A and B are shown apart, each in its own frame.
Chain A
Amino acid sequence: MGRIQFDHLTKQFGETVAVEDLTFDIEDSEFLVLVGPSGCGKSTTLRMLAGLETPTSGDLYIADEHMNYRVPQNRDIAMVFQDYALYPHMTIRENIRFGLEEEPGYTEAERDERVEDVAETLGIDDLLDRKPGELSGGQQQRVALGRAIVRDPEVFLMDEPLANLDAKLRTQMRTELQRLQEELDVTTVYVTHNQTEAMTMGDRIAVLNDGRLQQVGEPLELYHAPENQFVAGFIGEPMMNFLHGDRSEEGFVGEYIEYPFDERLERAVGDAADLVLGIRPEAIDVRHAGESASQSLGPHEFRMTVTVTETHGDQNVVTLTHAEDEASHDTIRAVTDGMHIVNAGESVIVTVEPDAVHVFDGETGEALCNRRLETARELTI
């Protein structure tokens, strides 16, 4: 079965460490997304899995077999490349069939049949006799997938396969790919730098940075309970807001705001001195300040000024700055409902509930306290 194990896997290029001490398992038929900024080592990891790079140290197992030195063709894997890598001089049929020709145990007729079956699954059966150059981006993408699927491998490897598609098509292919993977039930490792793809497609996500594994977990686990500041900042769009400051008697003191802790935060933070407050943009409530400036504010309310409002239609992303220092580059972002409009230049009151606050250690970046989640509401029809 297609279980993958990384055991202290390290890859160095000369002096540069591309991947450092990677240890985790990918379960059989799991959809795992490797995500991180460019240069984080995610592609190198995928290439080691594919056999295009040899690990410097550590061990790599696929289906319990040691893979470090095995050549790609003997690994029973299929890979989809970012640029699709279709053979331009072959028809779609020949492209899909190509990988099958090296595979023993098929008769010619069976190979043809298999190609047709796969093409039908992907809805490209009309295109079989065309050349790649005549196809649109989305169609080429499907052919690349077909070429991978036809070999019925233990493991699918995908290197940013949706990066070259436009936004609408990308969303569509995202769901399609996900459904296909469920149907085929093949272990899949998917590399992307796009956190939306990671969140929506993966059974689990592995976040990498600087060649090191930051966290492995289910999408919502990473979103709501990040282990460190990097994960918190990387997952989520718009990004989590970070406020730097110190521990005080009541709670947190930053340059512009004081944020008193409730009991839960108090307990979790302890006496760590250097703190970073993390607040998701959707956890910030923005309301119009009204006429009287002298309105009294609650402990978790702040007066701020709107600098930019981005209307998305279904939501608005509001960039806010501190009322006392409007030129400051130290801004925070809030997300409001699409029908809730505030304009640039307006004075607003911002509320941040203590339940929704994350606290990170300012030195190590480690999460001291993550937000509290309400339990899922019961659904009634």
Chain B
Amino acid sequence: MNLKIITIILIVLIAVSAFSTFVVLNPERGQKRFSDLGEAKEGKDFLVLKESLSLEEDASITEIKIALGLSENASPEEFRQVLIDNNLGGRLK
């Protein structure tokens, strides 16, 4: 009985671990896209920014960075700085 419970717990742990690894290794997926820029989620400001930069609604962070004149590997700090440079405060909602 105990062995069964331990096996189930192990399977759940392995599944959670595998899923987390998949999300971390795939920067274009879900929350990771915006946590990459120090943002919790994609909010209204991002949509306005994409529209202003003539990007599609589903444009990736890489596309936003390039449209802002950054390199695709720009860090969150560089992203913050370019927002300040553009008089956008430094962080988007």
- Co-complex (A, B): no
